[in-house]
């Protein structure tokens, strides 16, 4: 049954839905190819800057079987690569839709949404985001003595982490406030 429950669909849902509803009409059916195509269609919708509604990832899971193609690795949760891609390209609507699906508040530090492999300085130590707590209450940061960073969303450690931090949303918000206060004080001191 084709889902007509959503009267007005977002451009992202329309795009991905077109593939789902027209799947394999011109070729022999293959779940492997369909799952690959569905995953890539969501990538394309994110990277192409299509607008997502907050319920879109929930819709993908409920009506388009995204659990089969969202991808899970040992470091990233279900579909985390979509969240990382959305943050990296600046598709905030996709970030919000993903956060609603995962029932997670955004972890924002110094104006940047933190996702798996984001880098930041915590307690004076350069760290990378490795994962999120299952309940969405904490972000897990790790510092590696051997690491490489190619951009703000590409922190990769080698070997075993030398430090691990479990940071709550409230702790991150307090750190943001403190950094803002320090910047204001520094600016005021410079103006005198």
In the predicted structure, residue 65 carries a pLDDT above the cut 70:
yes
Name the nearest CA neighbour of 164 among 148, 144, 147.
Answer: 144
pLDDT digits (tens, 9 = 90+) for 31-43: 999 999 999 999 9
In the predicted structure, residue 73 carries a pLDDT above the cut 60:
no
Where in the chain are the domains?
Answer: 1-103, 106-192
* Average pLDDT of the residues of the chain: 87
pLDDT digits (tens, 9 = 90+) for 111-120: 999 998 899 9
Mean predicted confidence (pLDDT) in 65-81: 73
Instruction: Catalogue the long-range contacts made by 173-178 (C-beta closer than 8 Å, 24 or more residues apart).
Output: 175/109, 175/122, 176/108, 176/109, 176/110
Position 55 confidence tier, pLDDT thresholds 50, 70, 90: very high
> Among the ranges 44-48, 146-150, 183-187, which has the highest mean pLDDT value?
44-48
* Range of weakest confidence among 16-25, 27-36, 183-192: 183-192
Position 74 confidence tier, pLDDT thresholds 50, 70, 90: very low
pLDDT above 90 covers what percent of the chain?
A: 60
Mean predicted confidence (pLDDT) in 9-34: 93
In the predicted structure, residue 156 carries a pLDDT above the cut 80:
no
């Amino acid at each position: 049954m084709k889902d007509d429950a959503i009267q007005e669909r977002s451009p992202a849902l329309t795009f991905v839905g077109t593939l789902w509803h027209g799947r394999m009409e011109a070729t022999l059916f293959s779940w492997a190819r369909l799952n690959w195509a569905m995953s890539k269609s969501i990538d394309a919708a994110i990277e192409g800057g299509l607008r997502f509604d907050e319920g879109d990832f929930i819709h993908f899971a409920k009506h388009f079987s995204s659990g089969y193609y969202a991808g899970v690795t040992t470091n990233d949760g279900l579909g985390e690569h979509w969240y990382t891609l959305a943050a990296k390209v600046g598709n905030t609507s996709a970030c919000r839709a993903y956060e609603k699906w995962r029932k997670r508040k955004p972890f924002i530090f110094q104006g940047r949404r933190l996702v798996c492999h984001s880098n930041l300085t915590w307690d004076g130590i350069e760290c990378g985001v490795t994962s999120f707590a299952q309940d969405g209450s904490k972000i897990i940061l790790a510092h590696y003595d051997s690491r490489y960073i190619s951009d703000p969303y590409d922190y990769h450690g080698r070997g075993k982490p030398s430090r691990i931090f479990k940071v709550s949303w409230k702790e991150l918000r307090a750190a943001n406030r403190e950094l803002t206060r320090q910047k204001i004080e520094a600016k005021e001191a410079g103006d005198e």
